[in-house]
Structure 1
Amino acid sequence: MSNNIPQLATLWAAFAAIPSVFLSRASRSPGSHAAVVAIPRRTVGWALRHGLINGQARQGGVDIMFIGESIVRWWTRDGHRVWERYYGHRRGLFAGISEDRTQHVLWRIRHGNLRGIQPKLVVVQCGTNNHAENSAQEIAEGVNAVVDEVLARVGGATVVLMAIFPRGRTPGPARDTLDAANALLAERSDEDRIRYLDINDRFLNASGLISEDLMPDGIHLSEAGYALWAEALEPLAAQVLGNAFAPGA
């Protein structure tokens, strides 16, 4: 990590120098909106995490990559045992930063998260943090911009476009917005190199309430939630990667 400190200091200095007027240009650009305009977040922690992901990518040898926000980030915490079982032997990389919105993920992809690697499978899970500031249409456009950027940078990859996971213990406006965005994202399910995967019903009971066993806070996954996700991905992962997870590991 010490070898990266000068680079990260330079990166942070560059972020700090970006004029606020530029960072807010999405609101002033006709025909545009914030969810599709790539910008960084101007915090030290975010810059450090972005630099760490770039450093891991530079090491190469990545076959499967997850990219998104905190739900991806916490593969390292609540999902770490599931990760080791399913992806530890598969040269995986998780590129998640908590609280990122689509515009931040888009910026990260354009600034190193995919540089120098050619993963066979890229799993995209983002958009939930846009729910308060963007419409369903805008959220879908933001997620689609992320997917398109991945496809442009990783020539032979298959992209798993995940339906944005349900948000909130009970049905409500946030869930409705994300459900509407998912309906738009599902329209890409027949595109070449894209596999749309919606497992949201598995997180809900018959009344539409989120299972606390799978999402204790109504947003983030428990270990059981990560296991459910990995199990749903496994048929496609085995097909694309050409190997299976280690049963009983």
Structure 2
Amino acid sequence: MSRDIWVASFGAYKAGNFGIGGDNTGNVLWRLHDKRMAKLSPKAIVLLIGVNNFGLCDEKPEQVFAGIKAVVAALRKLYPEARILLNAVLPTGELAKSEGRQNVVTLNKMVATLDDGRHVVFRDYGASFVRPDGSIGTDIMGDHLHLTQKGYAIWADAMLPDVKKLMK
């Protein structure tokens, strides 16, 4: 997310952005074991992870879900008072019928089961990124995977009401 969009949307919350391009669930789990992470005390955590497990790790939805479930469990253990806004993996691929898109749909059904309504809140903002015919425009995701500035603005606007609720 660009710094401008980040600051405008979430700057009032003194939010840290720990997102790293190309990350997969294993990378996040490894970083959560760093002793410096225990020094943080977040009130809320926004988590979007998993798409790179498909493309870079060649995993199936069940494997990606196991990784996401492990990340959520590690976050809950490390930050038991924090509330987690667990984002559905965003839709990928130009067309709704693509194998990649279908994998994301399958995965998100599993990820939704992690919502406990209290500490973990699952939200699927995917509909905000697709056209009525299910396709994704290059103005939103230039390569049908990575968000453009317009895509990041859409995502931030979609998340902001949920972030506000979690920060109360």
| TM-score normalised by the chain length of structure 1 | 0.62
- CA–CA separation in structure 2 for the residues paired with 1:102 and 1:160: 16
Does residue 1:122 correspond to 2:45, yes or no?
Answer: yes
The reply to whether residue 87 of structure 1 matches residue 25 of structure 2 is: no
Match of 1:182 in 2: 108
Question: Identity over the aligned pairs, expressed in percent?
Answer: 27
Q: Please give the alpha-carbon distance, in whole angstroms, between the structure 2 residues aligned to 1:143 and 1:81.
A: 28
Using the alignment, how far apart are the partners of 2:95 and 2:35 within structure 1?
Answer: 38
Gaps of 5+ in 2: none
Residues 142-188 of structure 1 deviation map (CA, whole Å, 9 limit, x = unaligned): 11111111111012100011000111222311221121111101112
Q: Runs in 1 of length 4+ with deviation above 4 angstroms?
A: none
> Which of 157, 160, 163 does residue 231 from structure 1 map onto?
157
Separation in 1, partners of 2:15, 2:42: 9
- RMSD (Å), alpha carbons: 1.6
Contact 1:95 1:113 in 2 (8 A): no
SS across alignment from 1:220:
coil
Aligned length: 165
Correspondences of 1:51-70 after superposition (within 5 Å): none
One-letter amino acid matched to 1:182 = N
Letter of the 2:91 counterpart: P
Per-residue deviation, 1:236 = 2.2
> Could you tell me how far 1:93 is from its partner in structure 2?
0.8
Deviation at 1:113, TM superposition (A): 6.1
Question: 5+ residue gaps in structure 1?
Answer: 1-74, 243-249
Paired position in structure 2 for 1:99? 22
Q: 2:141 aligns with which of 184, 193, 215?
A: 215
Q: Is the 8 A contact 2:85 2:163 kept in 1?
A: no
- Between structure 1 and structure 2, the one with the greater Rg is 1
Matched with 1:162 is: 87
User: Take 1:121 and 1:158, find their aligned partners in 2: how far apart are those partners?
Assistant: 5
SS of aligned partner of 1:104: helix
Counterpart selection for 1:150 from 59, 66, 75: 75
Partners of 2:44 and 2:83 within 8 A in 1: yes
Which aligned pairs between 1:190-205 and structure 2 lie closer than 5 A? Answer: 190-205=116-131
- TM-score, scaled relative to structure 2: 0.90
Distance 1:138 1:192 in 2: 25
The structure showing larger relative contact order (alpha-carbon pairs under 8 Å, at least 6 residues apart) is 2
Q: Is contact 1:123-1:161 (8 Å) kept?
A: yes
Counterpart for residue 14 of structure 1: none
